[in-house]
């Protein structure tokens, strides 16, 4: 028998969460990791080398000591005692106590004046700040754990208190102190409170939900409050995910050197293009952290994310997503809606034409696929009017091939229905069949890539499967679409174009644009078309963005490379890019005016013994031989990063990244260590 009853388990501790929540996050330049950031000055202060600084301080001390010795021993005369005699001779005797006190006080004043003078010359203050107590205190200073004032404490929810929801604020503060609240809970409830302030929800409903469930209030539809695993560092208060550290490199602005680099919706809203060869870290160091961050934002009710990549690409566990579409995998629970959930034949035809033959359009920013759209609309409209649905892949293939039975059945069903416009569409389609300029044959060949046994159970339009439509981006949903790769590379590129076209079409008609929508496309090879570039340009106004990765800009037609780089506000060149890819980045990043210094050093030869001794002393102090220096300073215009530097000067695991946020603020190209 135990001697006493078992003790109660200790209550969870919320001190770590409170420390995280109360950490300062100052407003900073785009891309700076704000969590605990200490701002730096704009310009780099002039820093004297340590050897030169210490040598100068020591020599200044010896000079001061020499001057004091000469003064004290009378080698410089007694003039420095005249003020003392003038003040004391008239009222004190030579051996009085007052005379002694005044004398030593005067000695201290003179010695202090000498030491202050030589201390300024020897930069003793800089030595103290760099190597003395201030430097040690900065390295070992403990974190200030004193809680902030209630009106500035996020854990006290001051906005709720000012609005009258004091009970709800007390409940949330108690959950935070007891360790029942997480960062996702804080972000989710803050998002719900924004809905109350904007008028979408009532204060009474919000307060009752918080009083009932506390930190678990306002849950995500999945009920999840966190991801199964996290690989990156996230800050859901500042809405950032840390990707790396800005290198301490002279090519980086001084204010960015050594700071963490992070991205968030305010930067992804201008879209991101990352270019780097295979193995450069696009998926592991860029795509995976961004997908993870967007999934956390979705759990907080802030975002809707669609992640597209090859099966097994390492885009996160299936438990991290609400919907996982495994195209070509018979075990997939969800299917992909080929028509994007629309009921308008013209809209469905435009999206499907972009997916099927968008890469065959003239690679010019002004071209499009109108002829293919017209051909598909001539078939989809009549078919939907007869069957109440769009055709499946085999049916669409037969219609495009011009099978007499299919077209005849549609004509028979439409005759007498009073839909003469649809009959005219069929007549036009039949007249164009077999003409040399008819694109139906090309469309049929592309549809045949999807009419394969591996995709037999997919793209169903009869309602027997669970198709996912990008119309669901009105809600904070997490979606992963796995594309087939082996043996179906062309079909995968076609499906990637389909998802991108549906995404750009869906976000443009969303009702709730306060929800950030993002499409993460792990490999955009063959996806960039003239219509896709135009769609990416329109995303910023719809509070949406894309993340595209490419192995090389050669995967994009030459006329579209400039428009693509111009349409994306964030551009990343990873280590290993080719010089011709670097040339495109160098052109889009432009040039800047810099100060070029041409320095000419001429060694001074001493002829006399005294000169040689002086040169030896100077060499000890500075560590360099005495020289006569001529400096020419001029302003020149140079590329921020040249093509050669991008191809050969970016270390492995690094990238050069330029940023632009949705308000127009931008950061110059930064060399970033993605491994830190």
DSSP code string of 568-618: -SEEEEETT--HHHHHHHHHHH-EEEEEEEEEEEEEPPP-SHHHHHHHHHH
Q: What is the pTM of this model?
A: 0.84
pLDDT digits 0-9 by tens, 211-236: 999 999 999 999 999 999 999 999 99
C-beta neighbour count of 333 within 10 angstroms: 13
CA 373, CA 346: separation in Å to the nearest integer?
8
Does position 3 have pLDDT exceeding 90, yes or no? no
Q: What is the pLDDT of residue 627?
A: 76
Q: What is the pLDDT of residue 146?
A: 59
CA 307, CA 296: separation in Å to the nearest integer?
13
Does position 368 have pLDDT exceeding 70, yes or no? no
The residue out of 398, 429, 455 marking a domain boundary is: 455
In this prediction, residues 53-79 reach a mean pLDDT of 86
Does position 91 have pLDDT exceeding 80, yes or no? no
Do 89 and 176 fall within a single domain? no
Full domain range(s) for residue 201: 14-37+153-216
Of 46 and 597, which is predicted with more confidence?
597
In this prediction, residues 62-72 reach a mean pLDDT of 88
Most confident range (mean pLDDT) of 120-129, 349-358, 369-378 is 349-358
Report the percentage of the chain scoring pLDDT > 90: 54
Q: What is the pLDDT of residue 286?
A: 96
For residue 526, count CB atoms less than 10 angstroms from its CB and return exposed for 0-12, middle for 13-18, buried for 19 or more: middle
In this prediction, residues 78-87 reach a mean pLDDT of 77
The reply to whether 112 falls in a domain is: yes
Does position 60 have pLDDT exceeding 90, yes or no? no
Does position 8 have pLDDT exceeding 60, yes or no? no
C-beta neighbour count of 30 within 10 angstroms: 21
* Band of pLDDT at residue 616, cut at 50, 70 and 90: confident
The reply to whether 190 falls in a domain is: yes
Q: What is the pLDDT of residue 592?
A: 85
Report the percentage of the chain scoring pLDDT > 70: 93
Does position 142 have pLDDT exceeding 60, yes or no? no
Candidate from 136-150, 185-199, 630-644 with smallest mean pLDDT: 136-150
Do 78 and 202 fall within a single domain? no
In this prediction, residues 281-297 reach a mean pLDDT of 95
Of 486 and 262, which is predicted with more confidence?
262
What are residue 657's DSSP bridge partners? 572, 670
C-beta neighbour count of 2 within 10 angstroms: 5
CA distances from 599 to 49, 346, 596, 633 (A): 19, 68, 10, 9
In this prediction, residues 379-396 reach a mean pLDDT of 91
Residue 243 structure tokens: 């990707």
Do 33 and 158 fall within a single domain? yes
The reply to whether 178 falls in a domain is: yes
The residue out of 196, 216, 236 marking a domain boundary is: 216
Q: What is the pLDDT of residue 4?
A: 55
The reply to whether 205 falls in a domain is: yes
C-beta neighbour count of 657 within 10 angstroms: 26
Do 178 and 206 fall within a single domain? yes
In this prediction, residues 604-609 reach a mean pLDDT of 79
Does position 292 have pLDDT exceeding 80, yes or no? yes
CA 220, CA 476: separation in Å to the nearest integer?
8
Candidate from 315-319, 415-419, 630-634 with smallest mean pLDDT: 415-419
Do 26 and 73 fall within a single domain? no
CA 152, CA 296: separation in Å to the nearest integer?
25
Q: What is the pLDDT of residue 427?
A: 86
Q: What is the pLDDT of residue 648?
A: 94
- Reduce the DSSP state of residue 657 to 3 states and report it: strand
Do 57 and 181 fall within a single domain? no
Upper half-sphere CA count for residue 26 (Cβ side, 13 Å):
7
Say if CB 275 and CB 550 are below 8 A apart: yes
Count structural domains, the chain. Answer: 3
Upper half-sphere CA count for residue 430 (Cβ side, 13 Å):
14
Do 33 and 54 fall within a single domain? no
Q: What is the pLDDT of residue 150?
A: 66
Do 194 and 54 fall within a single domain? no
Q: DSSP of 312-376, one letter per residue?
A: TS----GGG-SEEEETT-TT-S-EE-TTTT---HHHHHHHHHHHHHGGGS-SSTT---HHHHHHH
Do 21 and 86 fall within a single domain? no
Say if CB 157 and CB 190 are below 8 A apart: no
CA 483, CA 311: separation in Å to the nearest integer?
6
Say if CB 37 and CB 260 are below 8 A apart: yes
Nearest partner of 564 among 584, 542, 579, 582, judged by Cα: 584
Mutual angle of helices 420-432 and 370-387, in 10-degree steps? 130
CA distances from 667 to 44, 243, 452 (A): 17, 16, 47
The reply to whether 412 falls in a domain is: yes
* Band of pLDDT at residue 653, cut at 50, 70 and 90: very high
The reply to whether 411 falls in a domain is: yes
Of 658 and 139, which is predicted with more confidence?
658
Q: What is the pLDDT of residue 296?
A: 97
Say if CB 527 and CB 483 are below 8 A apart: no
Do 354 and 423 fall within a single domain? yes
pLDDT digits 0-9 by tens, 266-281: 999 999 999 999 989 9
For residue 602, count CB atoms less than 10 angstroms from its CB and return exposed for 0-12, middle for 13-18, buried for 19 or more: exposed
Share the mean pLDDT of the chain: 87
Alpha-helical regions (H) of 402-484? 404-414, 420-432, 440-448
The reply to whether 477 falls in a domain is: no
Q: What is the pLDDT of residue 362?
A: 73
Do 198 and 72 fall within a single domain? no
Do 31 and 159 fall within a single domain? yes
The residue out of 410, 437, 455 marking a domain boundary is: 455
DSSP assignment, residue 31? T
The reply to whether 391 falls in a domain is: yes
CA 577, CA 655: separation in Å to the nearest integer?
10
Q: What is the pLDDT of residue 13?
A: 67
């Amino acid at each position: 028998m135990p001697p006493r009853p078992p003790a109660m388990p200790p209550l969870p501790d919320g001190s770590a969460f409170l420390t995280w929540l109360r950490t300062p996050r100052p407003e900073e330049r785009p891309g700076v990791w704000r969590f605990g950031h200490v701002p730096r000055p704009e310009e780099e202060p002039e820093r004297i080398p340590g050897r030169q600084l210490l040598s100068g301080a020591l020599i200044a001390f010896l000079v001061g000591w020499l001057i004091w010795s000469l003064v004290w021993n009378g080698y410089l005369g007694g003039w420095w005692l005249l003020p003392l005699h003038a003040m004391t001779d008239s009222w004190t005797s030579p051996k009085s106590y007052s005379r002694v006190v005044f004398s030593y006080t005067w000695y201290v004043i003179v010695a202090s004046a000498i030491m202050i003078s030589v201390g300024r010359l020897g930069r003793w203050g800089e030595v103290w700040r760099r190597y003395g107590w201030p430097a040690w205190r900065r390295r070992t200073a403990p974190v200030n754990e004193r809680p902030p004032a209630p009106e500035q404490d996020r854990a006290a929810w001051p906005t709720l208190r000012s609005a009258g929801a004091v009970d709800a604020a007390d409940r949330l503060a108690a959950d935070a102190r007891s360790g029942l609240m997480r960062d996702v809970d804080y972000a989710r409830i803050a998002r719900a409170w924004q809905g109350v302030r904007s008028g979408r929800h009532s204060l009474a409903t919000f307060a009752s939900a918080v009083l009932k469930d506390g930190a678990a209030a306002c849950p995500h539809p999945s009920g999840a409050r966190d991801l199964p695993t996290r690989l990156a560092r996230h800050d859901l208060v500042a809405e950032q995910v840390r990707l790396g550290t800005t290198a301490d490199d002279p090519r980086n602005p001084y204010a960015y050197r050594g700071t963490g680099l992070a991205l968030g919706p305010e930067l992804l809203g201008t879209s991101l293009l990352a270019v780097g060869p295979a193995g450069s870290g696009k998926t592991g160091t860029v795509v995976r952290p961004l997908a993870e961050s967007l999934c956390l934002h979705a759990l907080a009710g802030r975002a809707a994310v669609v992640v597209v990549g090859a099966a097994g690409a390492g885009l996160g566990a299936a438990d991290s997503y609400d919907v996982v579409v495994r195209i070509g995998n018979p075990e997939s629970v969800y299917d992909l809606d080929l028509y994007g959930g629309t009921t308008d034949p013209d809209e469905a035809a435009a999206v499907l034409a972009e997916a099927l033959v968008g890469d065959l359009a003239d690679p010019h920013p002004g071209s499009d696929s109108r002829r293919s759209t017209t051909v598909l609309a001539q078939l989809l409209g009549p078919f939907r009017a007869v069957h109440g649905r769009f055709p499946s892949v085999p049916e669409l293939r037969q219609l495009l091939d011009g099978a007499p039975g299919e077209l005849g059945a549609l004509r028979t069903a439409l005759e007498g229905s009073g839909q003469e416009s649809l009959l005219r569409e069929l007549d036009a389609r039949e007249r164009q069949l077999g003409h040399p300029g008819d694109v139906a044959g090309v469309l049929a060949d592309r549809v045949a890539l999807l009419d394969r046994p591996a995709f037999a159970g997919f793209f169903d339009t009869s309602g027997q499967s669970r198709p996912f439509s990008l119309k669901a981006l009105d809600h904070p949903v997490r979606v992963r679409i796995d594309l087939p790769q082996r043996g179906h590379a062309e079909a995968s590129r076609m499906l990637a174009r389909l998802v991108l076209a549906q995404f750009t079409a869906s976000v443009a008609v969303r009702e709730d644009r306060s929800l950030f929508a993002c499409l993460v496309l792990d490999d955009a090879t063959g996806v960039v078309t003239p219509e896709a570039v135009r769609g990416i340009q329109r995303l910023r106004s719809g509070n949406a963005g894309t993340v595209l990765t490419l192995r090389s800009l050669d995967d994009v037609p030459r006329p579209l490379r400039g428009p693509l780089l111009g349409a994306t506000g964030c551009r990343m060149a990873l280590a290993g890019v080719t010089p011709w890819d670097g040339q495109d980045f160098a052109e889009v990043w432009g040039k800047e005016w810099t100060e070029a210094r041409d320095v000419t050093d001429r060694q001074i030869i001493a002829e006399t013994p005294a000169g040689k001794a002086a040169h030896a002393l100077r060499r000890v102090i500075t560590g360099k031989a005495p020289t006569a220096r001529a400096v020419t300073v001029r302003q020149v215009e140079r590329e921020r990063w040249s093509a050669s530097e991008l191809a050969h000067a970016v270390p492995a695991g690094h990238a050069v990244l330029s940023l632009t946020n949705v308000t127009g603020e931008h950061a110059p190209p930064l060399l970033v260590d993605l491994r830190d």
